[in-house]
Amino acid sequence: MATPSGKRILLGISAGIAAYKSAHLARLLKKAGHEVRVVMTDGAQAFITPLTLQALTGEPVRTSLLDPEAEAGMGHIELARWAELILIAPATADLMARLVHGHADDLLTTLCLASDADKAMAPAMNQAMWRHPATARNTRQLEADGWRLLGPDAGDQACGDVGPGRMLEPEAIVDALFKAPDAAPLMAPDATPDEARPAKGLTVTITAGPTREPLDPVRYLSNHSSGKMGYALAEAAAALGATVHLISGPVSLATPSGVNRLDVTSANEMAEAAYRLAAQSDVFIGCAAVADYRAANVSEHKIKKTANSDELKLTLVKNPDIIAEVAKHRAGALRPFMVGFAAETRDVEAYARDKLTRKGLDMIVANDVSLAGLGFGADHNAALLLWPSADEAGQALGRRALPAQSKATLATAILDCLLERLEQADATASPLAATPYSPQDPQ
């Protein structure tokens, strides 16, 4: 993605194994036309040398707060004033904690306190450290203080663990920092935090991507979902102030900033996570393309072709209907506002209306995935929003058509409508919130 040129970026590097990625990040930023200066903590120098970063940026690398030459002219204050953006990558759990408490015990933390520049960081740590309540508290405080968190990603870690905590890849960091011109800003420049974050206080659970249903150790049933729409919704919801849980099928996407991501593979795994998190949520958005069926029996070994048959017969059984199950089980006063998706190839509105009613949803987002350049795998989409709406004659149907646009912009438009509907539902105190939440075990 093209990035605006000419920005003065202060790249801070702290003591994580992911520091080796910072060299590539510095190179990408320079290649995009930005002026880059690097500040390294003492620990960062154990993973990558200042000389490497100096060669890539063409600028001296600063490592010490008490550098006699630099301090002769109050160098750290000059550097703080020079920066238009401070980007810390990687940002360790220790550094995040020190920034939360306003420490200024090294050059990097001092610059962060002394600068009015925009600030962003890419966390990187062990998955248990990222999930620790202390880190969660620090994350919330940093965001409240104006920091933008990019990631982390999830996957294999250097320590051998698997889970969230990996630093985003450099390309993903650059992409997240400099979005397309039509992408919604994280916060309006002149808005107060509460005005810019209308979803603050809400907990939103979103399912995204496909599921995979194994046939044998090497084959599975799946679909073309890329997860882009669900991830765009998660990013937009977090930017609007919500606490966001993203239940993700297998996709090749980075975790949106400030989002809690849970990776699953099969429909049963997604169902278990959805039932658990729905009970803690104000809003549940079922955006995932869940496989309707799975193999009745998964072969222990690879299914081989046979010479005397041109056919392979599979017995399939139904997967749990996640959105319907969550919708029919209520969570008392905290009953989630239910939003479903209908990806259709014909009679889009008719099928969506039927699904809205049949599954007991509060809103449905319908789109025609047969249109070229829209839907599965594309960066743009159009949608038709439908919801039940009481009128003088009884129950009518609310309707809002959203034209083709980037999925990032579309996500914000969907959430705007959702928040309107949620506010109206709160005002009318729907009786649907009466029964206890007791989801069935996934089939």
Catalytic residue numbers read 159
The C-alpha atoms of residue 153 and residue 163 are separated, in whole angstroms, by 8
DSSP 217-239: SS-EE-----SHHHHHHHHHHHH
| First-last CA distance in the chain | 43
Residue with tokens 């690097």: 38
Residues in contact with 49: Cβ distance below 8 Å, sequence separation at least 6, in sequence order? none
Considering only CA atoms, give the Rg of the chain.
Answer: 24
Cα–chain center distance at 327? 23
Buried b (16+ CB within 10 A) or exposed e, 225-260: bbbbbbbbbbbbbbbbbbbbbbbbbbbebbbbbbbb
Peptide bond into 403 cis (omega under 30): no
Residues in contact with 405: Cβ distance below 8 Å, sequence separation at least 6, in sequence order? 182, 380, 381, 382, 413
Contact between 218 and 304 under an 8 Å Cβ cutoff? The reply is: no
